[in-house]
Structure 1
Amino acid sequence: MRKILGPVLLGLGGFLLIAGLLGLVWAPGVVEKTPEQVETITYLEGRAGKLDTSTGELVENPVYAISDTRTDTELSTDETNAWVSTSCLMVDRGGERECVDGSEDMITASVDIFATDRVTALSDNESLDLPADAVPHEGLVNKWPFGAEQKTYPYWDGVTGQAVDAAYDRTESLEGVETYVYRVEIDEAPIEIAEGVPGTYTTVKEIFIEPQTGAILNQTEDQQRVLADGTPALDLEFGFTDEQVASNVEDNAGDRRLLDALTVWLPIVGLAGGVLALVAGFLLLRGARRSSNAGPNRQKDLVGAGR
């Protein structure tokens, strides 16, 4: 039995050691990488005061926003993802929430095309042949890197068309998940309120990041746009819906379990189990050899004793 079990344990130990080393060395570079195919629809809600040009007053209404962000798999590569993101901000009249082009309830709408590194999540304007009208981006756009740190990151602001500081502000539990909250503050940046209409843009944005995966679980924003003469044009306060946050937390839990299984538990089980199996197999084989060597000697002694 020892002669059979010993080699089996040695083989198992070798297999577990290889699996553990793969989990330690190879797996992080494979799983800590944004998938090539991603399709996400994000829902936000809040309230907005929009300038009524006929009265010069802000008219306040409940609003919702929809952001549809997905990869262009034909353009994406092993190193870089191409993204197409369409979004709208609509007055909420209580009906179905959707983007309706040409509707008087549409406050803003945009299409954004960009590319990001699949590991660092930073914008990449060089690796892919993006359409000619794609605006070059800087910094992070739609996620943080795996293993996010408590520091300041460059973050793309589409209104000003440049990267701004997203500074680590605090750690906060979000439905039982620890998140790093990064704060973006922009004060009276010059922009065009509409084509040919100058004004300023002020915003405070908080982005809740699950640090292991770099996923955005929640986001809030308090934004104002003001005409050059000081007339408020837009006063907006909104964030992810409660249902969106709950969905993000649930999806992220599965991603974290997969990461833990491949980058934490596989190395632990593989390396520890492999060493134990090798040691046990070696001891069994050594014991089997001793028994085999002792057998003939014992028989010889018995024969000599009978003479």
Structure 2
Amino acid sequence: MKRKVFGFVLVGLGTFLLVAGVLAVTWAPGQVKRLPLDVNQTTNLDGTVRKLDAATGELVENPVKVQNITQVDADASDGETAVWVQKTCVVIDVDDPPACVDGDDERLVSAEIEVFATDRVTAESVPDFGGLPADATPTDGLVNKWPFDSQKQDYEYWDGTVGAAVPAVYDREETLLGVDCYVYTISISDAPIEIADGIPGTYDNEIEIWVEPQTGAIQQQTQDQQRYLDDGTQVLDLKIGFTDDQQQASADDAEDNMGLLRLLLFWVPLLGFVGGALCLVAGALLLLSVRRGGRSGDAEHKELAGSSA
């Protein structure tokens, strides 16, 4: 009786594992390769800035720090599209300023708030999404991350200064703090912009972005940016990248997220199909042996009954 019960247990367990394996292959990828709606991320960059001193007409160099706070507005989002609120503040790092300062503080280089929407799988902008506020600036292309399973190809990437998507060209593979990345480069030259309200000028920027391709998460981003008045006078020279601590935090997050993907998309199907098949075979053999044993016992009992007669 115990062998029979154990056989049924093995068959039930095998069936459960096989179903789990099938779900891990057919259902799980569409769920885990989808941006969650609880994202609230702070990214820190540092570097140097040379900013025009109006009094002297010279560029003055100082250390600079940048804080980017990116949060998903879960209430405005839905199952397919995420609405983001992104706050970016660039501050001259003198006399230990806070992450952002008000507009009267001379250490402020720029402060911006952007609201945009992206597809939760492809990361592509959704400029006409109904959850966006009426005054949101329409965006195009990728905005703040790459798609899941990024490819060695060029993408269109949103540049808020230009106000348009620009080509992000696949350049190479590179390992950054143990994380295998695809590196994309963006080159902007002589783009017409407003230096300030009503003051036209031009904008150059050389950008490199390191992307972990499985999740599309940005691991490092550097900029070498210049801005000029129409007469050629340079008003800004900004060179920034992720801080060392930020790079390490991004690498740690990438390892955790890739580990979760491996667990759900590789190990669970493997255990489900292999373990489930083994359990089913073992359970079926055990039940078959119990059945054969029962038949042998019945035959032996009949022979003994015949002898006694």
Tell me how far 1:202 sits from its aligned partner.
0.9
1:151 aligned onto 2:161: no
AA at the equivalent of 1:48: V
Give the Cα–Cα distance (whole angstroms) in 2 for the partners of residues 300 and 53 of structure 1: 112
Alignment of 1:131-146 (within 5 A): 131-146=133-148
Give the Cα–Cα distance (whole angstroms) in 1 for the partners of residues 96 and 60 of structure 2: 20
Give RMSD over aligned pairs. Answer: 1.4
| Structure 2 partner of 1:24 | 25
Give the Cα–Cα distance (whole angstroms) in 2 for the partners of residues 296 and 74 of structure 1: 69
Q: Is the 8 A contact 1:91 1:105 kept in 2?
A: yes
Q: Is the 8 A contact 2:21 2:269 kept in 1?
A: yes
Cα distance per residue 1:76-98 (max 9 Å; x no partner): 11111111111111111141441
SS in structure 2 at match of 1:129: coil
AA at the equivalent of 2:90: L
TM-score, normalisation: structure 2:
0.96
Q: Is the 8 A contact 1:76 1:128 kept in 2?
A: no
AA at the equivalent of 2:176: L
| Structure 1 partner of 2:244 | 242
| Structure 1 partner of 2:216 | 214
Give the Cα–Cα distance (whole angstroms) in 2 for the partners of residues 60 and 96 of structure 1: 16
1:228 aligned onto 2:230: yes
| Structure 1 partner of 2:302 | 300
AA at the equivalent of 1:266: V
| Structure 2 partner of 1:200 | 202
| Structure 2 partner of 1:252 | 254
Give the Cα–Cα distance (whole angstroms) in 2 for the partners of residues 127 and 199 of structure 1: 32
1:282 aligned onto 2:284: yes
SS in structure 2 at match of 1:128: coil
Tell me how far 1:294 sits from its aligned partner.
1.0
1:10 aligned onto 2:11: yes
Q: Is the 8 A contact 2:179 2:254 kept in 1?
A: no
Q: For this pair of structures, how many residues does the alignment match?
A: 307
Tell me how far 1:236 sits from its aligned partner.
0.8
Give the Cα–Cα distance (whole angstroms) in 1 for the partners of residues 301 and 95 of structure 2: 95
1:111 aligned onto 2:133: no
| Structure 2 partner of 1:270 | 272
1:125 aligned onto 2:127: yes
Alignment of 1:44-123 (within 5 A): 44-102=45-103, 103-123=105-125
Tell me how far 1:32 sits from its aligned partner.
0.8
Tell me how far 1:129 sits from its aligned partner.
3.4
- After TM superposition, the structure 1 stretch with the greater mean CA deviation from structure 2, 111-120 or 193-202, is 193-202
- After TM superposition, the structure 1 stretch with the greater mean CA deviation from structure 2, 297-306 or 190-199, is 297-306
SS in structure 2 at match of 1:285: helix
AA at the equivalent of 1:73: A
Tell me how far 1:306 sits from its aligned partner.
6.6
SS in structure 1 at match of 2:27: helix
Tell me how far 1:253 sits from its aligned partner.
1.8
Cα distance per residue 1:145-197 (max 9 Å; x no partner): 11111111110000100011111111111111111111111111111111221
1:167 aligned onto 2:175: no
AA at the equivalent of 1:212: Q
Tell me how far 1:255 sits from its aligned partner.
1.6
Cα distance per residue 1:45-88 (max 9 Å; x no partner): 00011111222211111111111111112211111111111111
SS in structure 2 at match of 1:251: helix
Q: Is the 8 A contact 2:46 2:64 kept in 1?
A: yes
Gaps of 5+ in 1: none
Percent identical: 50
AA at the equivalent of 1:122: E
TM-score, normalisation: structure 1:
0.96
Give the Cα–Cα distance (whole angstroms) in 1 for the partners of residues 4 and 55 of structure 2: 94
Give the Cα–Cα distance (whole angstroms) in 1 for the partners of residues 301 and 83 of structure 2: 78
SS in structure 2 at match of 1:191: strand
Q: Is the 8 A contact 1:36 1:78 kept in 2?
A: no
